[in-house]
Amino acid sequence: MQIIAHRGASGDYPENTLLAIEQAIVQGADAIEIDVFAVDGELIVIHDHHLARTTNGSGSIYQYTIEQLMQLDAGRGQRIPTLWQVLQLLAPTSLWLNIELKGEDTVAPLLVLLDQAQRELHFDPNRLLISSFNHHLLADLKRQQPDLQLGALTACLAVDYAAFAQQLQAYSINCDVSFINQAFVTDAKARGLNVYVYTVDQADDIARLQQYGVDGIFSNYPARSKALLTDN
Ligand code: G3P
Ligand code: CA
pLDDT tens for each residue of 71-128: 999 999 999 999 999 999 999 999 999 999 999 999 999 999 999 999 999 999 999 9
pLDDT reported for residue 40: 94
Cβ of 35 less than 6 Å from ligand 1: yes
Confidence grade of residue 140 (pLDDT, cut at 50, 70, 90): very high
Alpha-carbon gap, residue 80 to 4, rounded angstroms:
20
Terminal alpha carbon distance of the chain: 7
**pLDDT value, residue 164:** 86
In angstroms, rounded to a whole number, what is the distance separating the alpha carbons of residues 120 and 123?
8
Q: Which domains does the chain have, with CATH numbers?
A: 2-227 (3.20.20.190)
- Is residue 1 within 8 Å of residue 217, measured between CB atoms? yes
Per-residue pLDDT, 20: 99
State the burial class of residue 121 (Cβ atoms within 10 Å of its Cβ: 0-12, 13-18, 19+).
middle
Instruction: Give DSSP secondary structure letters for 28-62.
Output: T-SEEEEEEEEETTEEEE-S-SBSTTTSS--SBGG
**Ligand 1 near 196 CB (within 6 A):** no
Measured in angstroms, how far is the CA atom of residue 34 from the centroid of ligand 2? 6
Q: Element (H or E) spanning 109, and its range? A: helix 107-120
Task: Return the pLDDT at 231.
Answer: 73
CA-CA distance, 190 to 63, in Å (whole number)?
A: 46
Instruction: Supply angle C-alpha 206, 196, 169, rounded to 5.
Output: 160
* Complex-level ipTM beyond the 0.90 threshold: yes
153-193, pLDDT tens digit by residue? 998 776 688 888 999 999 999 999 998 999 999 999 999 99
pLDDT digit string, tens, across residues 25-45: 999 999 999 999 999 999 999
